Structures are given as structure tokens and as C-alpha cells.
């Protein structure tokens, strides 16, 4: 069995959608998935891509993915990579695909002169946390993720001053 990591292409969109649904089910968030192939294709492979995807394969079959994008650290004065999602099919876990995806992301971060690679993990996901500790990742205990979406996002945007 040969494990490879490659950049996704538009031909992978159905696999990416499948991975997103499988990840959402694992995280008990299946009800929250709104992504569809056309929208994802536009934002991943359209004229102004907003994110990138790596695909993990064994012998040509997709077994996992990592979706990431650039952020920026004002303190570092340099870009970073933010890993939005990483998922490996349950039947393919234990062969190093997750670690290989993370290693490739680390290499991409270095190649692009990024200061850091960051991500969030659900506090109950002990298997993932164990992998992250094993590769040297550290929790950011003093930080709490904040989110604004839906009606709250719309309400705040409606108060924005007029811009020139």
C-alpha cells in the first residue's frame, strides 16, 4: 500500500464533499453542513480561490483530506496557514495519513514563509489531540474561539458605516 499526498483538483469535488459530510457526522454536526459541490468548486477552484485542499490517497483511492487557507499574524508580520478541516476515513486510520497530511501542510507553510500552522480541535476528540501532541502541537489555553454568523453577522454588518 502506497500513501501519497497531493493537491486537490476540480475532479475531486465529490470526494471533498463526501469527506466534509463524513467529518460532520463524526463531529455530530451533520445538521450544520450547507456546502454543496458547486459552491465549493467556486471557492476552491474558481477565479479567486479562498482555500486549498490536500488529498491523501492509498493506491489511488482517496482516504482523507485537509482543507486550509492563509491567515496573517500581525505580531509575526508574516502569513500563516489555518487548517480548517482534516479527516481520514475510519477504515484508513492508523496508517499515518493524518500525520502525512499535517507534515505536508507544515512543508507548505515553510515553503510559503509562514510563521505558523494553526487549527482548532473539539475538546472531546482525544484521538486527534493525541496525534497533535505527538507531533509537538501545543494548545492555546488562554484563547477562546469566537464566532459571528447568521442573524448576528447580518445585524452587525447592518450597522457598518458607509465607506467611500
Catalytic residues: 132
Percent of the chain with pLDDT over 90: 91
Query: What CATH fold (topology level) applies to the domain 3-157?
Result: Aminopeptidase (3.40.630)
Quick check: 83 and 68 in contact, CB under 8 A? yes
- For residues 120 and 145, give the distance between their C-alpha atoms in angstroms, rounded to a whole number: 8
The predicted model scores a pTM of 0.93
Q: Tell me, rounded to whole angstroms, the distance of Cα 30 from its chain centroid.
A: 17
The residue-averaged pLDDT of 114-119 equals 96
Domain ranges of the chain: 3-157
Which pLDDT score, from 0 to 100, does residue 144 have? Answer: 87
What does the DSSP assignment read for 7-37? Answer: E--GGGHHHHHHHHHHHHHHTT-GGG----H
Amino acid at each position: 500500500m502506497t500513501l501519497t499526498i497531493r493537491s486537490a483538483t476540480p475532479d475531486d469535488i465529490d470526494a471533498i464533499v463526501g469527506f466534509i459530510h463524513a467529518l460532520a457526522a463524526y463531529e455530530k454536526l451533520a445538521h450544520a453542513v450547507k456546502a454543496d459541490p458547486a459552491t465549493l468548486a467556486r471557492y476552491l477552484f474558481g477565479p479567486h480561490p479562498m482555500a486549498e485542499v490536500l488529498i491523501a490517497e492509498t493506491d489511488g483511492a482517496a482516504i482523507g483530506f485537509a482543507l486550509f487557507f492563509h491567515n496573517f499574524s500581525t505580531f509575526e508580520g508574516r502569513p500563516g496557514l489555518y487548517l480548517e478541516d482534516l479527516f481520514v476515513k475510519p477504515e484508513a486510520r492508523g496508517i499515518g495519513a493524518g500525520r502525512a497530511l499535517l507534515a505536508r501542510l507544515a512543508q507548505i507553510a515553510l515553503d510559503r514563509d509562514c510563521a505558523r500552522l494553526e487549527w482548532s480541535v473539539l475538546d472531546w476528540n482525544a484521538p486527534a489531540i493525541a496525534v497533535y501532541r505527538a507531533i509537538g502541537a501545543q494548545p492555546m489555553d488562554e484563547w477562546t474561539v469566537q464566532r459571528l454568523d447568521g442573524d448576528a453577522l447580518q445585524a452587525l454588518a447592518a450597522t457598518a458605516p458607509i465607506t467611500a
